[in-house]
Amino acid sequence: MIHRIHELVWGPWLLLLFLGIGIAYTIKTGFFQIRKLPYWWIQTIGSIREEEDEKKGVTKFQTACTALAATIGTGNIVGVATALTAGGPGAIFWMWVSAAIGMMTGYAETMLGIRYRYRDHKGAWVCGPMVYLERGLKKPYLGMIYSFLCIMVSLGMGSMVQSNSIAETMEYSFGIPSVSIGVLLTAMVLLVILGGISRIAFVSERLIPISAGIYMLFSMVVIMSCFDKIPYIFQCIFKDAFQPISIFSGTAGYGISRSLQYGISRGVFSNEAGLGSMAVLHGAAEDTTPEQQGMWAMFEVFFDTILICTMTAFVILCMTEGDAAGSGYDGAALTAYSFSKRLGPLGQYVVSGAMLVFAFATIIAWYYLGRQAAGYLAESLKKRKKLYILQRILRGKIYTLLYLGAVFLGCLAKLETVWEFSDIWNGLMALPNIIALIVLMKEVKVPK
């Protein structure tokens, strides 16, 4: 039943919604992500040194690293490998398309989040789709629904699925029991989240650039060692993505639809553009504007999918001669096999280390996401004097305990069903956000 619900939620209609809203914003802004690439690049990654000189509170770069921590995860390793085995090399082309138009979706939701954010009674920023659903769209109940779905995703995809990936990787690579990993991981997560958004941002700022840099370095070593194969890999990607019309038979059509479906869905899974999560994570930035923070969201989608996912894909395609499905491996095992084929045992450690760091970063970032949603939902229920017990659960330390419990249980459980169940909440969470993006489209503007 869960599998059928999952197929229904993540059917072609949802992928078309993601594509449609991204295309609409791309056209509305005159292809801003392409036309103004030098401008937004300088305004984001090119302004890091200037930010360090004027550091006050949580910086734009720190919120970008926190958002990257939430998006760079198992999707960059497992998701890419699954897309290649299930959808063929052409899936990578459609992943690029998904990222290119998703950049403007990420820009729009982050810009709206910053525009409508406000400070709570403690002086902390409250930001995200629930805020612009309430204050921009004037639909507070949609904001409450989004918050509830965000909480469910944080307890599933944000914590249990990620901690399970860490436990399985550590047990397979180093023989460490899952219980021991669960205790250690839960303690590490607790140490970080006790410091609130400041410590989460601080850890993300240190963890993400270094870990992503090391992973990209080893990826380039493998790719450059197969430099002569790169033209053939590009040929495989484009040939598989666009079959000639003369042979557009049922089989070819099925192949193209699989490439498109897996390329777009894995692109969304990796960069989260359209889910609204980036809008929540960027809300803590001080001394910023909606347009500046929107461009940081664009950079994150570019970095996550165009750079890291592409490198993973090229490593796999180079090592499997363009036939990932014929390797006999899938998921993280396929990525580890591809790295190990060129780097030996070191390749497996590279993938294991990347899985460990990326998943841990995702866990701490999603705690902040879930905590923000829980706080908003509790406050909304309080205003309406409803569900007092649920208010108590969402407030204070109870949500934190639930989240830590999910991290620990994720290390012990077999999560095939939990993964699909979490993915259902993930897809449902996008719906209120996409509604807001459609209705509030006139309010989204880009720098001239």
pLDDT band at 56 (very low <50, low <70, confident <90, very high): low
Structure tokens at 6: 């999952």
Q: Which helix (H) or strand (E) holds 119?
A: strand 118-119
Instruction: Compute the average pLDDT of residues 221-243.
Output: 85
Kindly report the pTM of this predicted structure.
Answer: 0.83
DSSP 50: H
323 pLDDT higher than 60: yes
Q: Which of 269-283, 318-332, 399-413 has the highest mean pLDDT?
A: 399-413
Helix (H, G, I), strand (E, B) or coil at 161: helix
Residue 27 has what pLDDT?
Answer: 93
Instruction: Compute the average pLDDT of residues 356-364.
Output: 85
- Contact in structure between 393 and 149 (CB atoms under 8 Å): no
Residue 133 has what pLDDT?
Answer: 92
Distance CA 117, CA 53 (A): 26
Could you give the dihedral angle defined by the CA atoms of residues 80, 85, 91 and 92, in that order, rounded to the nearest 10 degrees? 40
- Considering only residues 169 and 126, tell me which one the structure prediction assigns the higher pLDDT: 126
Burial of 161 (0-12, 13-18, 19+ CB in 10 A): buried
Helix (H, G, I), strand (E, B) or coil at 235: helix
- Contact in structure between 132 and 115 (CB atoms under 8 Å): yes
Sequence-distant (≥ 6) Cβ neighbours of residue 304 within 8 angstroms: 68, 71, 72, 76, 99, 270, 271
**Rg of the chain over all Cα atoms, to the nearest angstrom:** 21
Residue 436 has what pLDDT?
Answer: 92
pLDDT band at 438 (very low <50, low <70, confident <90, very high): very high
Instruction: Compute the average pLDDT of residues 156-172.
Output: 80
Distance CA 351, CA 81 (A): 12
Residue 389 has what pLDDT?
Answer: 60
Residue 391 has what pLDDT?
Answer: 59
Residue 256 has what pLDDT?
Answer: 39
- Contact in structure between 301 and 273 (CB atoms under 8 Å): yes
Residue 355 has what pLDDT?
Answer: 79
Residue type for 262, please? Y
- Considering only residues 87 and 296, tell me which one the structure prediction assigns the higher pLDDT: 296
- Considering only residues 35 and 395, tell me which one the structure prediction assigns the higher pLDDT: 35
Q: Which helix (H) or strand (E) holds 126?
A: strand 125-126
Least confident of 27-31, 91-95, 131-135, 325-329: 325-329
Least confident of 65-79, 223-237, 271-285: 65-79
Residue 351 has what pLDDT?
Answer: 81
Instruction: Compute the average pLDDT of residues 132-161.
Output: 88
How many C-beta atoms lie closer than 10 Å to residue 254's C-beta?
Answer: 10
215 pLDDT higher than 80: yes
pLDDT band at 228 (very low <50, low <70, confident <90, very high): confident
245 pLDDT higher than 50: no
pLDDT band at 397 (very low <50, low <70, confident <90, very high): confident
DSSP 378-401: HHHHHHTT--HHHHHHHSTHHHHH
Q: How many alpha carbons lie under 13 Å from residue 150 in its C-beta half-sphere?
A: 34
Distance CA 127, CA 133 (A): 11
Sign of CA dihedral 296, 99, 81, 315: negative
57 pLDDT higher than 60: no
Q: Which of 156-165, 237-246, 287-296 has the highest mean pLDDT?
A: 287-296
pLDDT band at 274 (very low <50, low <70, confident <90, very high): confident
Q: How many residues does the chain have?
A: 448
Q: What is the mean pLDDT of the chain?
A: 79
Cα-flanking dihedrals φ and ψ of residue 215, to 5°?
-60, -40
Instruction: Compute the average pLDDT of residues 136-154.
Output: 90
**Residue 408: strand pairing partners:** none
pLDDT band at 267 (very low <50, low <70, confident <90, very high): low
Distance CA 132, CA 47 (A): 28
Least confident of 189-193, 282-286, 309-313, 404-408: 282-286
Instruction: Compute the average pLDDT of residues 159-178.
Output: 80
Cα-flanking dihedrals φ and ψ of residue 126, to 5°?
-115, 120
- Considering only residues 273 and 406, tell me which one the structure prediction assigns the higher pLDDT: 406
195: nearest Cα among 371, 355, 358, 356: 371
